[in-house]
Each structure stands twice: as structure tokens, then as C-alpha cells.
Homo-oligomer: A and B are copies of this chain.
Amino acid sequence: MILLDERDKRPIYEQMIDKLTDLMAREILTKDSPMPSVRSFAMELSINPNTVQRAYNELERMGYIYTVKGKGSFVADNEKAKKESRQSLMGELDSLCERARALGVTQEAVISEVKDNYGRAEK
């Protein structure tokens, strides 16, 4: 389902949260579909079940999944995920623009790069 990067400096549970919310935002994980069980997920990724549990706890707290006792965890409405993903993306874009300005990069240069990127994607 997801792949962990061992060399990533961030804690594993944070990596999991990022990758899972991303899957939700991209609608690969759809509303009300079941999440893997804590145990099987831990096995699959060869990590400690505690770590999976922690990721699930955070995801539930943030409203990305909901848990039914005795049945498991399920994807909540992923509209939320999409919205928040977009917001955080825009936040990153903002801080990136600020760094760009500090380095004397013009607005035009930034926009041209964006257009380039979208252009390359179309082909």
C-alpha cells in the first residue's frame, strides 16, 4: 500500500500519515473503504504495531479516518483530505515564494518555471 523510506529523517508514523493522506487526497483511498488492520499493516511494513497505531491515532484525531470498535478503521470523507492538502501546499508555496524573493528571484521567473512544469506534464 505504501512504501517507507528508511533514510527519511522524519519519524515513521509521520511518514505514514503523509503518504496515507496523500492517497486519500488523490482518491486512491476512497470514503468508507477499510484501512488495513494495525497488525497486518505492521507486518507488511516490517515495523512495530505501536508505530502503526500511533499513525492511526493521529489520523483519527485529524478526522481522516474513523474507527468502529471490533471492526477496524475506515477512510472518512476525503474531501477534507483534499482541502487540507491543498491548503498546506499553498502554505508551502507561500514560504517558497518568500525565499525566492529574498534571493532576488522575480515573480516572472517563478511563474515561468510553473508554466514549464505544467507544460512538461501535458506531453
- Identical chains bound together, number: 4
Interface of A: prevailing SS: helix
A89 partner residues in chain B, CB cutoff 8 A: 96, 99-100, 103, 105
Number of chain A interface residues as a range: 35 or more
Known contacts A6-B68, A7-B68, A68-B7, A105 near B86 by CB under 8 Å: yes
Q: Given contacts A26-B103, A82-B103, A93-B96, could you give 17 more A-B pairs where the C-beta distance is less than 8 Å?
A: A7-B66, A7-B68, A26-B102, A85-B103, A86-B100, A86-B103, A89-B100, A90-B113, A93-B100, A97-B117, A98-B121, A101-B118, A101-B121, A107-B115, A107-B118, A110-B114, A111-B114
